[in-house]
Amino acid sequence: MNFKTLIFLGLIKFFFLKNSFIQAQDLKTSEPKITSTEIKLLIDTINHTLKTWCVYPNKAELAIATLNKSYKNKTYEKAKDRNDLAKLIALDVQKAFRSNAFELSYNPELAKLDLRSESDSAKKKNREDWLKSELEENFSFNKIEILPGGIGYIRWDRFTSFIDEATPILNGAFQFVGNCKALVIDLRYNSGGVRSMNLHIQNYFFKQKTHMITTVDNLFDTTKRVTDPSKTNFKLEMPIYILTSRETFSGAEDFAYSFQKTKRAILVGDTTWGRSYVVRGFTLNRTFEMALPISRPIETEDWTDKGLVPNIQIHPEKALAKAQEVIYRTILSKPTNEAEGNLFQRNFNNVLSQLNNLPDSVTLKHYAGLYEDGMNFYVVEGRFFCINAARRGAPHVELNYIGNNLFSLDEYAQVEFIKDSDGTCSKLKMHWITGYVSEKKKIKK
């Protein structure tokens, strides 16, 4: 390729990029400028919606006054475009609310939609498509298992609106864990959903009618949610532990709060997000979307913007292990025979290994060395490893600390290092899952 060809191709590329840039600029500037009349109409519409629907009337009045003041001061006329205008307005309302319980965004695509009522066939099709999607995701029931010691574990990440369709899944899930000694419900990743599904699930856990929560709406009408034992054919009566995190949101917080208030469950983990209210979306002037709270709990323990504080506070990543530790201590610590006692101790040690931090590198080096049968323990960047040098191709296994010189090696064995009077280790004991204990001497440091 000669020099002239390169210049020719470069010019083509330049004009192509220039034309693309001009077209993008034309597209960007094709949207009409914001007028003071449009701003006034938007502010009036927001004020009317706040006054009519917001469940916090005092906050709504303060927000309306703030919006009117900013409009009078021509603050909104400084907006660069409609997206910027939405941000300025939302910021004013959020300051008045002293929370993020208000959202406003610009969406020009709304003008292209037919906002008239959908036909029955269209509604049916939308529902069928939505149900298909929910079915494919198993109604957000992601994991069910039996943990060591007969502890049930169940995780779901959303409360679906398809109650009747999801009930067979609920029955199967809860019957699977029905004979467990305790049950862990994982809401650490639950984003909320439909409150009526909350109550439907709560029916499985209460033998008598029990008040869960009372809410009030923008018209000051109250709704008292009470469990109905007749709605389910069986009940789960074991102790309940609910895992929470900052991602536990809205309806999931509602669910956890009801269990905590009635002392039906112990909450373990981190403080939740802090959205106790129910939000509704509104379309304004066919170009803006707004969301504001229309219902809230009337309980004195309203957790809006504060979040629910769990009974046992710990980092969410360690919440499951902590719940297991509490269960082992309170429920499974009184075995009926020696074999059950050994199994309990082993499971308990494995849980502690997930909670406890490793000793420092200096301490770990006292354990390190080559022991009989080729068991080689070593330290790398503060982490403790083992490899069976006598076995070709054996993997390097990282150990977790249980406590008192005891480590978890894998699901089959735990290693106890025996210290001498000078603090060094001259031997170890292997505690096997079968209950057998073998001893190995240190050969080389």
Q: Distance (Å, rounded) from C-alpha 34 to C-alpha 29?
A: 12
Band (pLDDT 50/70/90 cuts) for residue 99 is confident
Write out pLDDT tens, residues 23-37.
444 444 567 889 999
Write out pLDDT tens, residues 333-387.
777 787 777 778 888 888 998 899 889 988 899 999 999 999 999 999 999 999 9
Q: Report the DSSP beta bridge partners of residue 106.
A: 288
What is the structure's pLDDT at 390? 67
Q: Distance (Å, rounded) from C-alpha 407 to C-alpha 429?
A: 11
Instruction: Kindly tell me if the per-residue pLDDT of 127 is higher than 50.
Output: yes
What is the structure's pLDDT at 7? 40
Phi/psi at 331 (5° precision):
-115, -40
Write out pLDDT tens, residues 223-268.
999 999 999 999 999 999 999 999 999 999 999 999 999 999 999 9
Q: Distance (Å, rounded) from C-alpha 305 to C-alpha 253?
A: 12
What is the structure's pLDDT at 14? 41
Q: What percent of the chain has pLDDT over 90?
A: 66
Quick one: average pLDDT of 89-113? 88
What is the structure's pLDDT at 300? 59
Quick one: average pLDDT of 72-97? 94
Write out pLDDT tens, residues 187-201.
999 999 998 999 999
Phi/psi at 187 (5° precision):
-110, 20
Q: How many CA atoms lie within 13 A of 326 on its CB side?
A: 22
Q: Which domains does the chain have, with CATH numbers?
A: 36-106 (no CATH), 131-272+307-328 (3.90.226.10), 356-444 (2.40.128.50)
Q: How far apart are the first and last CA of the chain?
A: 68
Antiparallel, parallel or unpaired: β 312-313 and 369-371: unpaired
Band (pLDDT 50/70/90 cuts) for residue 16 is very low
Band (pLDDT 50/70/90 cuts) for residue 117 is low
